[in-house]
Every structure is written in C-alpha cells, then in structure tokens.
Amino acid sequence: MFLPVRTCSFVRLIVDFAALLNTFLILIICLDQQAAAMSEKPTAYEGRNLLGFQFYLKHSEEHKVIQGFVDRVLPGVFKRIAQGKSQMDILGVGSGGGEIDAHILSVIGSELPAISLSADIVEPSMELSDNFKALVRRTPSLQKIPISWHTVTCEGFEKQVKDNGNVKRFDLIHMIQMLYYVKDYPRMIQFFHSLLKDNSKLLIVHEGAGSGWDILWKTYRAELCTKTVSDYMSAGDIKVHLNQLGLRYEEHLISSTMDITACFTKGDEMGELLLDFMTEQDHFYQSLTPDLQTGILDLLRNKCSTEKNGRILFDNSLCCLLVYS
C-alpha cells in the first residue's frame, strides 16, 4: 500500500520536527548542567592552592603539632568515650589526605585494642581523597578498619543523611582545620553534633583567636574573603556560637609558630607559594595591588609575627574545642 505523496511529506515533516525538538531538549539539558557546574563552589584545594597547602603542611609542621596534641591529651578522652562500648564509630569531616585521621585511628587502636573501629570520611577533594586511600593501602592497621568514603561537601553529606533517612551516629566526630570552607558553620556544627551518640565528642581544631591568621584575615576580610573562604572566623568566633547553641565544651590551646622569612624576598619561589596559600591568591604579586601587597606584608611582619635570631616567626597557634554530646 502506498501513501499519497502529500501524506509522506507530512509524515517526514513530523519526523524531522521530532528530531529537531529532541536535539533542542538535549542542548537545554547540557546548558543547564554546565550552568550548575559553573555555579558550584570550588573545593578549597585545587591547582596551585593544593601545592601551597601541601607546602604549608610540610613547612609549618602543622600535622606534627596536631599529632603531638592527640598523643598528649586525647588518649584519656578516647578511653572515657569507649567506656561500656565494644565498638567506636568515627566520622572525619574535611579529612584531606588523611594524615590526622590515620593518627587518631592508630592512637585509638593502640590504646583500646579490644574496641572494634569503623570510619566514615567526608572530603570533597577527589585528589586528597585519593591520597587518603593510598595512605590506607600503605598502612596495614588501617586496612583492618571498615571505611566509608563520601566525596562530598559538608552540605552534600547533610543532604545524603537526610535523603537516606537511616541516620548513622558516631562516637567521635572531628572537624580539623576545615570550617573556613563551610558557608553556614553554626548550622553545620549543630548538624554534626546531632549525629553524636550518648557519651561522645565532637572535636574541632581551628586557628586560635588572636593568632596571626586571625589578625591577617580579619584585617583584610573584604579583600581576602572572595573565593572558597567567604568569611573568616577564629576559634573565638566558634566559641560564641557554641555558647549560643548551649553546647558544653573544653578548650585546649596548641601553641605553634611558622618561619615565614622567605615571604619577604620577592622572587623566592617557596616564599611566594606560601604567600599565595596564606592569602588564598593564585599569585600574590599578580593578583593584588601594590598598596595591598605592602599592607599585608607589613602586617605579617609587625602584627602577626615575632622576630628571633633574624627569622620572622608567624603565630600559627591553634585551638582545640572538645564538644560534649
């Protein structure tokens, strides 16, 4: 049976229109996905900032300082949390490459060998998460611990928990040097605190009130809080919100300094990389005006640091807040 020529033309027209409409819909979806990707806030450590972060950790020995605090102060805390329990569930928030998480798990394992451990890790950086997984593969004791990986932001993890409906609770939650990158940190603290079991702790480690970081970032808040750090707070500001939330906590100060002498020699590769990280700039001398550069360098030398034996030592002090469940 043959259709009239006019009918065939009409059918062809409908088919062509449907194909065009399908192409148009695919284009709209792609544009929408592209717009969503462009509007999403970048993770804190990417590109040059990741290099700066890694150099900062090595140069400042921040991890060594925090690990020393864990060794001195926290074993007794872990033992009190574990009383009457056969298992401890640990949640690391913003765990980075996992060096501190691994140390905490190691200390708990050595102090409480009869306790079974599990860990959940929230870290939005794929590269840092891969570094953590590589660390696990190199560490036999970590391979015995069940670890769940969540490569999402704090907000993304909160959504996962609420969508899932089956809320897992934890004996220890730690948020170490990561609240700078959270938009609504009081709400995030409240959310993660709600995930604690009875007789458990939320461990927050943050830059101390009055430290060099506090002075630098609050003095130049408008100029520096333009990227992944949208607003700056010190441990002193976090304490204000803990008090407002009615949460009980202990405070421990962790004194530390970092040699930033190289930052004052323009052209020094490591000094400039450290300056980039400290101010969250891609290139300090290219991104900021000469007047702003001069002001920041003067502040770093005269307000944020002390001088000893010709070296300029930045006040890199931290504060640990142990929040009760």
For residues 233-246, give the mean pLDDT: 94
Structure tokens that stand for 57 in this block: 């950790």
Ranges of beta strands (E only) in 24-129 are 87-93, 116-122
- 19-33, 96-110, 188-202, 298-312: least confidently modelled range: 19-33
Contact between residue 249 and residue 320 where contact means Cβ atoms under 8 Å apart: no
Interval 229-255 mean pLDDT: 93
| Residue of 197, 182, 169, 171 whose CA lies nearest to 241 | 182
Kindly report the number of other CB atoms within 10 A of residue 193's CB atom.
18
User: What is the CATH number assigned to the segment(s) 47-209+227-259+315-324?
Assistant: 3.40.50.150
The predicted model scores a pTM of 0.80
Domain ranges of the chain: 47-209+227-259+315-324
Residues counted in the chain? 325
Question: pLDDT tens-digit profile of 202-230?
Answer: 999 999 999 999 999 999 999 998 877 77
In this structure, the number of other CB atoms found within 10 A of the CB of residue 33 comes to 10
Q: In the structure, what pLDDT confidence band is assigned to residue 52 with cuts at 50, 70 and 90?
A: confident
| pLDDT at 191 exceeding the cut of 70 | yes
